[in-house]
Amino acid sequence: MLDCVIIGTGAAGISAALTLKANGKSFVLIGNPELSLKISRAEKIPNYPGLSLVTGGEFAAALKRQLKDVEIEITDERVTGVYALKGSFSTLTESGKTFDSRTVILAVGVESVRKIEGESEFLGRGVSYCATCDGFLYKGKTLAVIATSERFEGEVEYLAKLAKKVYFIPLYKNVGFAFQAFENVEKLMRVPTEIKGELKVSGLVFGDQKEPREIPVDGVFFLKESLPPSALVGGLETENGHVAVSRNAETNLRGLFAAGDCTGRPYQYVKAAGEGNVAAHSVIEYLRLAGKNE
């Protein structure tokens, strides 16, 4: 059993990992090994103490070097669910791996892609964030697959092989997926505005209210970097879409901590790194007290 699972490789998750490592705790750091795209995409960073006008690329390279120097590896997975058990947590990933730990730090950032109408309402009733978890439910059916980066093209292909028809909606440039090789895949360049349905999803709406176009679909997959924290962890308290935390980064679930953008504004590296450090110290204290009571 690990001491901690840290989810997210932005400033918050990396800062938490450095602190846990320095304190000899066992953990996995799960996320994109290229780190958060919000680091590399920054043109110039004017407000990080000690780093004068570095580019995002330089900042990302420095962070990767630092992780390597202290032998912290990144586990390249996307987490699909965190389950609170009695005194521990089970973290599941898209590829079907499970990590058991005494504590979890959520450092998952905030999704920059706006939710569309009906996305939350139909979650679990035709809307899914995980192709390999739910794809088999849509064998021979019609799907819309909205992907935010080329990282998810393997999952798009997986769904294309399962479904009767796939409307592929990439929200990024330089699509590498050879969708032309699949007769059942149609690429759409418009972003849908609404998911329709009654008990379950029945269609996807495009366009404004005057001229809406609806295509019938049985399911909608959103393949995006950050999932809403409340979709990741059942029973997690949120406030205006952010994880509700105490000053010590505690959530309402004992042993589960959160740090960085996912806990609220301001969205800044220095705040994320600071909160990652606080969360890690809270984990250390939590483990110390739990050890006393065992």
Ligand X SMILES: Cc1cc2nc3c(=O)[nH]c(=O)nc-3n(C[C@H](O)[C@H](O)[C@H](O)COP(=O)(O)OP(=O)(O)OC[C@H]3O[C@@H](n4cnc5c(N)ncnc54)[C@H](O)[C@@H]3O)c2cc1C
Residues that bind ligand X (CB under 6 A): 7-13, 30-32, 36, 38-39, 41-42, 45-47, 78-79, 107-109, 225-227, 232, 260-261, 267-270, 272
Which residue intervals of 214-268 are DSSP H helices? 229-232
Nearer to ligand X, 18 or 42 (CB): 42
Q: How far is the CB of 113 from ligand X (least distance, A)?
A: 12
User: Any idea which residue has 């009695």 for tokens?
Assistant: 86
Contact assessment for residue 38 and residue 13, using Cβ atoms and an 8 Å cutoff:
no
User: Min. distance of Cβ 200 from ligand X in angstroms?
Assistant: 24
Distant-in-sequence contacts of 213-219, Cβ < 8 A, 24+ apart: 215/144, 215/167, 216/142, 217/142, 217/143, 217/144, 217/167, 218/126, 218/138, 218/141, 218/142, 218/143, 219/126, 219/127, 219/128, 219/134, 219/137, 219/138, 219/141, 219/142, 219/143, 219/144
Contact indicator for 63, 14 with CB cutoff of 8 Å:
yes
Smallest gap from Cβ 152 to ligand X, in A, equals: 11
Q: Which of 103, 97, 72, 101 is nearest to 9 (CA)?
A: 72
* Rounded-to-integer distance, Cα 120 and Cα 4, Å: 29
Nearer to ligand X, 94 or 218 (CB): 94
Nearer to ligand X, 48 or 158 (CB): 48
Q: Which is nearer to ligand X, 218 or 275 (CB)?
A: 275
Closer residue to ligand X, CB minimum distance, 36 or 251: 36
Residue among 101 and 142 whose Cβ is closer to ligand X: 101
Smaller CB separation from ligand X, 87 or 234: 234
C-alpha to C-alpha distance for 161 and 140, rounded to whole angstroms:
9
Cβ contacts of 95 within 8 Å, gap of 6 or more: 77, 132
CB of residue 111 to ligand X, shortest distance in Å: 8
Question: Shortest approach of ligand X to residue 283 CB, angstroms?
Answer: 16
- For the bound state, the minimum distance from the C-beta of residue 151 to ligand X, rounded and expressed in Å, comes to 9
24 by Cβ neighbours in 10 Å (0-12 / 13-18 / 19+) ranks as exposed
Q: Minimum distance between the CB of residue 227 and ligand X, rounded to whole angstroms?
A: 5
H/E element, 219: strand 219-223
